[in-house]
Structure 1
Amino acid sequence: MQHIADKLGISKSLVSRALSNDAQISDRTKEQVRLTAIELGYPINSSAAIVPSSRTGNVAVLMPRSHLKDAEFWGKVIGGAEEELHRSAFSLVLGGIATDEPVKDGLPSCITDRRVDGAVIMGRVPVGYIAEVMATGIPVVLADVMADSLKLDHVLADNFRGGCEAASFLLEQGHRNLLFAGDSDFSFSFAERKRGAERAVAQFESTEGKAPTLTFVDPILLEGDKLALPEVEFSAALKGGVTAIVCANDSIAFSALEQIAALGLSCPQDISVVGFDNVERCEWIAPSLTSVDADKETIGRRAVELLLRRMERPDARPETLYLATELIKRNSVANIINNFI
């Protein structure tokens, strides 16, 4: 605690009182202390805070407000969570986090008023908001978000293996010039998918004596957290000889298909595309999209299972669960092995 106190120029006792959620300490000071602790590498454990003694029968599922517009992906995760909560006689309370507002103002009232027994936090939520929820004493589990500076239970898809599987499949189909479309700074999931694709390319043993290549392009962020490929950079990449694209999510893949058509090319005859998340639209677009399934319903169910365990055993050691992915093969990838014969 002395390191935190020295960093902020306050007393060690004030740090201790802020971390224990002393009611006489201002919210601003508590937030500064928690964020400084995280910055200095000190894990914050929500079990140290005061947990409400009474049960409400409600559990909050929290995510950035922008994610609420993406029912195609998050609807499946929420559905899995609701199914498990219903089985355990709990009700789901869906809340949006205003990540563009100050931490204290950005949380929904069900959290600030402690009207829930626990919370599952999903998506790209900054660590300061997560720490603020933890400070209320409400048990917290993270789903599809990584905050390794916090001692919390996590449930994630095995994004590294998924990215590796997607790139490996394209290599097996004869593609040697691959493009990864996804900004690793956008999310932990994107970074892991990129790392997996890089591993597949690095480990691939070519029989024709030509080492595969992997280039990169960063999408642009649109309203509602939708991602699209920048036209100029994408066109330049295709002119550089790329024959296949690994997309960090299906939204990027749909953008790729649109731009491929706009350039007068076709998928999969000219360019093969693989997405990630396997949303329902993958099945009915033309061509149907090959995509890595992240088992969204199971992410929601397992997050609730961990939360219920945390509510009963607040001092149990946190767990991180990685769920296996599966490549769903459809019509957006061409086999070009004969091109080397």
Structure 2
Amino acid sequence: MKSKVTMQDIADRLNLSKNSVSQAISGKDGVSEETRKLILDTADQMGYIYQAGRKKSQAETSGYIALIASDFAFAQKGFFGEIYLSVEQETRQRGKHLLIQSVDQESEQELILPPVLENQGVEGILILSHLRTSYMDMVISKGLPTVLIDHHYPAVKADCILTNNRFGAYEAIHYLTELGHLNIGFVGNIQFSPSYYERFEGFRLAMRDAGLEMREEWLLLDAVEQTEYMMDAMKSIPDQPTAWFCVNDGLGFILNSTLQQLGFQIPKEVSICSFDNGQLSQLSTPPTTTMEIDLKLFGRKAVEQLFWRMDHRQEPFVEMLLPTKLITRESTAGPRM
């Protein structure tokens, strides 16, 4: 179990003496105002619990918003990093300070809450991406207004800001059918997150509306982002569909590379469409057609909803679905007749 943050921990983080940290936290002379502010900000970010009766600085009285996420989510810098930057900017514009806390696997499994939530100045919580339901329930039980970003689950009682995954996937499949594709496959692990399952639902709805068959061998519902998996999967398929829809750009990138290694021409023989409009969709050769998510809008709407919730605690919880946008690139074309 993790111990509480100490003054020595703060000193080690900043490469300062413990005495300097003590002077800053206790409000005594001996450190510059710039250093004092740095120490106090770092103490808050690390979740340092102040002794009762300590006089708070002007920075503290303005209040804090806590942003927590798993180590895995924070590691996805291209996607969640942009959301985080948007959250930080929007929070600052509203006169609050953002405290971030990564949740490691052990803490999540053992239901150890982040130290930052012990900060008495925290007024609201943002949970970024997926954390296990029991852990989110413990966070929410703190009684602070909480908003989930890019994740939801029926049992979790909180506001959620989400991508309209179903309609986004539906639009992608509709685009492929408009190009003339009648044989379309699906690639994605639908057990990994609600978002991927919802994209499969959108795929299924679009295929049904177009009157197209979903062939079992073209439904890779447990796909992982590994070249070995993709090569084995593609080799096991007796005949390729004319187009594939992938639930994210990582899978689209690996599928593109794998099919070309097997001798298929993209998009002349097989078209590929993915989701997210991340860096991999742009680095792929050819670049991948994808559904774009407005990540800055994600952050902005999450903070807006949290501040609304702080003033309307008794209102029913809501889910806000943000739209996607089709970005057409060279990985898709009409099927060869």
TM-score by length of 2: 0.76
2:83 equivalent among 52, 77, 91:
77
Return the alpha-carbon distance in structure 1 between the equivalents of residues 171 and 184 of structure 2: 13
Q: Residue 60 of structure 1 aligns with which residue?
A: 66
Equivalences for 1:79-118 in 2 at 5 Å?
79-101=85-107, 103=109, 106-114=112-120, 116-118=122-124
Note the alpha carbon deviations across 1:78-105, whole angstroms, 9 max, x for none: 1221221121012222221224445555
Contact 2:128 2:151 (C-alpha < 8 Å) held by counterparts: yes
**SS of residue matched to 2:273:** strand
Matches within 5 A, 1:56-205: 57-101=63-107, 103=109, 106-114=112-120, 116-205=122-211
Secondary structure at the aligned position of 2:82 is classed as: helix
Match of 2:236 in 1: 236
Secondary structure, aligned partner of 1:291: strand
Identity of aligned residues (%): 26
Greater relative contact order (CA < 8 Å, ≥ 6 in sequence) = 1
SS in structure 2 opposite 1:169?
Answer: helix
In the alignment, the residues of structure 2 paired with residue 114 and residue 260 of structure 1 have an alpha-carbon distance, to the nearest angstrom, of: 55
Q: Does 1:286 align with 2:289?
A: no
Partner of 2:304, secondary structure, is helix
Contact 2:275–2:290 (CA under 8 A) maintained in structure 1: yes
Query: Structure 1 unaligned runs (5+)?
Result: 1-53, 206-210
Kindly provide the amino acid, as one letter, of the partner of residue 127 in structure 1. Answer: T
Q: Amino acid of the residue matched to residue 255 of structure 2?
A: A
d(CA) in 1 for partners of 2:106, 2:243: 36
Is residue 276 of structure 2 the alignment partner of residue 273 of structure 1? no
Q: Check whether the contact 1:55–1:117 (CA below 8 A) recurs between aligned residues.
A: no
Q: Which residue does the alignment assign to 1:257? A: 256
- Distance in 2 (CA, whole Å) between partners of 1:311 and 1:99 is 29
Q: Distance in 2 between matches of 1:229 and 1:275?
A: 18
What CA distance in whole angstroms lies between the structure 1 residues aligned with 2:108 and 2:331? Answer: 43
Letter in 1 for 2:278: V
* CA pair 311-55 structure 1, distance change in 2 beyond 3 A: farther
Shift of 1:230: 3.4
Kindly provide the CA deviation profile for residues 225-275 of structure 1, in whole angstroms up to 9, marking residues without a partner as x.
Answer: xx98532123323x3231211111111111111211221222112221111
Contact 2:250 2:280 in 1 (8 A): no
Q: Is the 8 A contact 2:87 2:299 kept in 1?
A: yes
Matched, 1:245 2:247: no
**For 2:74, what is the secondary structure of its paired residue?**
helix
Report matched runs for 1:18-33 at 5 Å: none
Instruction: Tell me the alpha carbon deviations over residues 115-165 of structure 1, each in whole angstroms, 9 at most, x when there is no partner.
Output: 522111121211111111112222110111012223211110100001111
Q: Does the alignment pair 1:310 with 2:309?
A: yes
Alignment check: 8 A CA contact 1:112 1:136 kept:
no
Alpha carbons 2:62, 2:97 under 8 Å: kept:
no
Equivalent residues of 2:188, 2:224 under 8 A apart = no
Q: Deviations over 1:16-49 (max 9, x none)?
A: xxxxxxxxxxxxxxxxxxxxxxxxxxxxxxxxxx
Q: What is the alpha-carbon distance in structure 2 between the residues aligned to residue 134 and residue 320 of structure 1?
A: 16
Equivalent pair of 1:180/1:216 in contact (CA under 8 Å): yes
Q: Which residue of 1 aligns with 2:219?
A: 216
Distance in 2 (alpha carbons) for counterparts of 1:85 and 1:292: 28
Alpha-carbon distance in structure 1 between the residues aligned to 2:287 and 2:174: 20
Code of the aligned partner of 2:310: M
Cα distance in 2, alignment partners of residues 181 and 307 from structure 1: 34
TM-align CA RMSD: 2.2
Determine the C-alpha separation between the residues in 2 that align with 1:267 and 1:100: 43
Cα 1:295–1:229, aligned 2, differ >3 Å: closer, same or farther? farther
Q: Residue 169 of structure 1: CA displacement?
A: 1.1
Structure 2 unaligned runs (5+)?
1-59
User: Which residue pairs with 1:19 in the alignment?
Assistant: none
Structure 2: distance between partners of 1:314 and 1:196: 33
